[in-house]
Chains A and B, each alone.
Chain A
Amino acid sequence: MTKIQHFLKHNIVGVVTVVSLFLLFFVLPSIFSGSDLLLNVNRLMIILVGLTYIIYKYMMFRQNYPNFKFAESTTLVNVLGSVIAIVIGLIFGLILMFFVSPANAMPGFFTILKGGFNNLKSLGNMIYFSVPIILTGLSVAFAFRTGLFNIGATGQLTMGAFAAVFIGVRGGFLGDIHPLLHWGVAVLGAGIAGGIWGAIPGILKAYRNVNEVVASIMLNYVAMYLNTILITTYIYNVDYARALDIERTSATPTFNLDLLFPTSSVNGGIVVAVIIVIILYVILNKTTFGYELKAVGFNRDASKYAGMNAKRNIVYSMMISGAVAGIAGAMMFLVVGKHLKPENILLQEGFTGIAISLLGLSNPIGVLLAGLFYGSLQQGGYYMQLYDFKPEIIDIIIAVIIYASALALFLQTFVIRRLKAREMTIDAKKVVEQEKEGDK
């Protein structure tokens, strides 16, 4: 009890923020569903509360650490680097739009910026479309934190999608069970399939010293062709040249989110995504297991001498990464009306996941935000067709953002230099003031 009281006492503003956000986002809209005024007031309130919270935190921080140098905070520098990369990408997009159609460039650009925050429907769609991307982003980010580059999220996603759809279509063997359980089994199956597919490059890396990037690229294509074979053999709908319809019981439940965002295609996938964000965050930051995984990533030999099983840890982290990507596949295709197709095409979500992971600084919470950002841009691209721009410009912008963040070193030195310059002038002012006081 005392612990909870202590927590409340020291985080009162945070708790109030979370509760009020919850009220604003989840409770009020379900009472007055879908009025525009409400949405605007909501938005304003969220921004105000958010700003107040940030200012409060900043002041507390300043009070506690008066001599803190911001240039030495790697998180801050990294985040600023990401922000600059995003700005560069958006400016590139704007220039391209001016080049294509000068008259429509500005309104089109604002549509992108507005993105998913157009109305409740687009907000719901933004959440719906960002779920698989958040999950693949998490998959790549988890591997990246443990020193591995999982470019094979696409293949793991494909295998997961097949497993999920297979269980969804042929759910009969499970007997007459609760629908949620059917869905759960399908998601679990997807996770296992993706995990196995992810473990293969892990095993090759750990025991045969094969570069995991190359192995996963190969496995992407193997998965793509294997998927076609499996679909046409087991769950083929010849009339439509696609997989059979999944049973309704295995579709992702909406958890009543569809009441919140009427007419959008939102479903409960975001809940799964948030749960996985929390799980991965806890594994990485709060457990010995996660610490070992990270240690092996930093220095395989050193962690071996510290008594860790480096090989086993590499396999584990690739397996977890693959499982998350597999669940992304389940979230994509456990939807009524969506079908796996035997098309021999790599699913792009896996590669977008790499981008999202980089943008989110390989931090689970960062990835969540970056994924929502991407979803918002995507909705912006959708609405931008009103101004006669093609939605592919979003991918161009994202590619430029990724390229810019690959130049992180350059950006970070830039940020550090600016911060240092600022702090030096502040220090100089302080010195001058002190001298003045001394003179008096």
Chain B
Amino acid sequence: MDGLTFMEIVYFIFPLIIASAVPLTLVATGALYSERSGVVNIALEGIMLMGAYVGSVTIKTLESSGVSPLLNLFTALIFGLFIGYVLYLLVQVLLNKIGKLSLFEHIAIRIGSYVILAVFSTLLMYFVLNASSQNVQVALVGLLVGAIVGIGFSLFHAYASINMKANQIISATALNMFAPAFAIFINRTFSANGTQKVTIQGSYRIREVPFFSDIPIIGDLFFKAAYLSTYLGIVIFIVAVVVLYKTKFGLRLRSCGENPHAADSLGINIYKIRYSGVMVSGALAGMGGVIFVLSFAANFNATVSGFGFLALAVLIFGNWKPKRIILAALFFASMRVIANTYSVIPALKNLNLDGEIYSMLPYVATLVVLAFVSKNSAAPLAAGEPFDPGKR
């Protein structure tokens, strides 16, 4: 592959970078939610792994049995509720623009609009799902299962660190230890040939998106050989950021991570907010795990290659801010891709460096950044501290 031109290399590498960056960004956003609410969550690795395991088992089962209409309806319902919520956020912005409304009108419009939007998008989603190929249906169910498992597993961390005021690093370490052992144990016990691998048959790559792929450069970069999860991930990231920075809930969540006692004095339920922060991080990490399996491995081998910890590094490198998180994720993802493909790129091949140097670079960079900016880092002040109402 010596004769590759520059553009060919770009077209070859760019989709790979995006594919790595999406799970990283999603999981880092999850970590952002958790840390902003005041709970340090280094259990992300374990949560990702758990989501990836159950998600890939689900996908494997559905691949052979097919997706029943009822399951499709359920998927459509969950995604419909989500899309409905997104549209509802837009409506809220509009409502604020309109100006003063009476309380009754306000409530009626809010609830009414949400119900209508949710029902509408559920139905739409259901028809789209029924029309689309089996692979899309399976992948969506898998992502959903990953998210649900992630929420369930993260609840253990939430319970220990919020209710029990346990050391958050210890309980997270326990979860990180539990997840791979559990996945290997269960899979080796129940799979037919006693292996720890879960192999997925189908390919979840979209060859090209109609219409968009015809756009000259952008079409080649973004709309060819991409994954469904990429687009989904981008949408989820945008929604997550809007919720965190533009809604009442987001403001409360951030306040819990900065000064829980002040937030408590204003009548905010710290426990509830922190639970939701950890649950969001669990959902995103679980989903990120499934995306990881779908886009790199095509089989689950009881590991997510340290993506959970890498996402934590992304969060820190991005200084707990969404825009910088994206940049950090792109940087980390490119280094990862270069480490695997540098032999194809003439300029890097001539440098004659080990691939490990590129793999190492993100971590070294994070350390250097930490060393220089930790004095004015934007880390949430109360992250890692259990909330004790008596301490005020």
User: Do A and B assemble together?
Assistant: yes
Q: Once bound together, how far apart are the Cα atoms of A214 and B312, in whole Å?
A: 8
A138: Cβ under 8 A from any B Cβ: no
Q: Which of B173, B313, B316 has the most CB of A within 10 A?
A: B173
Instruction: Say yes or no: B166 contacts A344, CB within 8 Å.
Output: no
Instruction: Say yes or no: B356 contacts A399, CB within 8 Å.
Output: no
- Known A149-B169, A396-B178, A402-B173: A228·B356 in contact at CB below 8 Å: yes
A346: chain B residues within 8 A (beta carbon): 306
What 1/0 flags go to B166-190 for Cβ under 8 Å of A?
Answer: 1101110111111011101100110
A208: chain B residues within 8 A (beta carbon): 370-372, 374-375
Instruction: Say yes or no: A399 contacts B177, CB within 8 Å.
Output: yes
B189: chain A residues within 8 A (beta carbon): 100, 389-390
B214: Cβ under 8 A from any A Cβ: no
Instruction: Say yes or no: A354 contacts B160, CB within 8 Å.
Output: no
- Known A229-B357, A346-B306, A407-B166: A209·B374 in contact at CB below 8 Å: yes
B357: chain A residues within 8 A (beta carbon): 225, 229
Instruction: Say yes or no: A392 contacts B169, CB within 8 Å.
Output: no
Q: Once bound together, how far apart are the Cα atoms of A410 and B182, in whole Å?
A: 25
- Known A351-B177, A399-B174: A406·B182 in contact at CB below 8 Å: no
B42: Cβ under 8 A from any A Cβ: yes
Q: Once bound together, how far apart are the Cα atoms of A410 and B386, in whole Å?
A: 14
A232: chain B residues within 8 A (beta carbon): 354
B207: Cβ under 8 A from any A Cβ: no
B130: Cβ under 8 A from any A Cβ: no
Q: Once bound together, how far apart are the Cα atoms of A351 and B172, in whole Å?
A: 12
A407: chain B residues within 8 A (beta carbon): 160, 164, 166, 171
Cβ 8 A contact of A221, one of B156, B164, B167, B306: B306
Q: Once bound together, how far apart are the Cα atoms of A225 and B176, in whole Å?
A: 21
B218: Cβ under 8 A from any A Cβ: no
B135: Cβ under 8 A from any A Cβ: no
What 1/0 flags go to B235-268 for Cβ under 8 Å of A?
Answer: 0000000000000000000000000000000000
B364: chain A residues within 8 A (beta carbon): 218, 222
Instruction: Say yes or no: A221 contacts B363, CB within 8 Å.
Output: yes
B366: Cβ under 8 A from any A Cβ: yes
Instruction: Say yes or no: B173 contacts A355, CB within 8 Å.
Output: yes
Closest Cβ neighbor of B161 among chain A residues: A406
Q: Which of A229, A344, A355, A403 has the most CB of B within 10 A?
A: A403
B165: Cβ under 8 A from any A Cβ: yes
B367: Cβ under 8 A from any A Cβ: yes
A151: Cβ under 8 A from any B Cβ: yes
What 1/0 flags go to B311-352 for Cβ under 8 Å of A?
Answer: 011001000000000000000000000000000000000000
Closest Cβ of chain A: how far from B15's Cβ, in Å? 24
B204: Cβ under 8 A from any A Cβ: no
Instruction: Say yes or no: A402 contacts B177, CB within 8 Å.
Output: yes
A215: Cβ under 8 A from any B Cβ: yes
Instruction: Say yes or no: A396 contacts B374, CB within 8 Å.
Output: no
Instruction: Say yes or no: B173 contacts A218, CB within 8 Å.
Output: no
Instruction: Say yes or no: B312 contacts A396, CB within 8 Å.
Output: no
Instruction: Say yes or no: A399 contacts B178, CB within 8 Å.
Output: yes
A222: chain B residues within 8 A (beta carbon): 360, 363-364, 367
Q: Once bound together, how far apart are the Cα atoms of A181 and B184, in whole Å?
A: 42
B309: Cβ under 8 A from any A Cβ: yes
A409: chain B residues within 8 A (beta carbon): 164-166
Instruction: Say yes or no: A408 contacts B166, CB within 8 Å.
Output: yes
Question: Which residues between 143 and 162 of chain B lie within 8 Å of chain A, taking CB atoms?
Answer: 156, 160
A296: chain B residues within 8 A (beta carbon): none
A105: Cβ under 8 A from any B Cβ: no
Closest Cβ neighbor of B354 among chain A residues: A229
A217: Cβ under 8 A from any B Cβ: yes
Instruction: Say yes or no: B173 contacts A151, CB within 8 Å.
Output: yes
A204: Cβ under 8 A from any B Cβ: yes
B177: chain A residues within 8 A (beta carbon): 351-352, 355, 395, 398-399, 402
A210: chain B residues within 8 A (beta carbon): 367, 370-371, 374
What 1/0 flags go to B270-308 for Cβ under 8 Å of A?
Answer: 000000000000000000000000000000000000100
- Known A204-B371, A213-B42, A390-B189: A403·B156 in contact at CB below 8 Å: yes
A335: Cβ under 8 A from any B Cβ: no
Instruction: Say yes or no: B374 contacts A390, CB within 8 Å.
Output: no
Q: Once bound together, how far apart are the Cα atoms of A410 and B160, in whole Å?
A: 10
B178: chain A residues within 8 A (beta carbon): 395-396, 399-400, 403
B359: Cβ under 8 A from any A Cβ: yes
A344: chain B residues within 8 A (beta carbon): 356, 359
B367: chain A residues within 8 A (beta carbon): 204, 210, 215, 218-219, 222
Closest Cβ of chain B: how far from A109's Cβ, in Å? 15
A393: Cβ under 8 A from any B Cβ: yes
- Known A406-B160, A406-B166: A392·B370 in contact at CB below 8 Å: no
Q: Once bound together, how far apart are the Cα atoms of A434 and B325, in whole Å?
A: 72
A389: chain B residues within 8 A (beta carbon): 189
What 1/0 flags go to A148-161 for Cβ under 8 Å of B?
Answer: 01010000000000
Question: Which residues between 306 and 357 of chain A lie within 8 Å of chain B, taking CB atoms?
Answer: 344, 346, 351-352, 354-355
- Known A214-B316, A215-B370, A403-B178: A354·B164 in contact at CB below 8 Å: no
7 pairs from A and B in contact (CB 8 Å cutoff):
A219-B367, A222-B363, A351-B173, A355-B177, A389-B189, A398-B177, A409-B166
Residues of A in contact with B (beta carbons under 8 Å apart): 96, 100, 149, 151, 204, 208-211, 213-215, 217-219, 221-222, 225-226, 228-229, 232, 344, 346, 351-352, 354-355, 358, 389-390, 392-396, 398-400, 402-403, 405-410
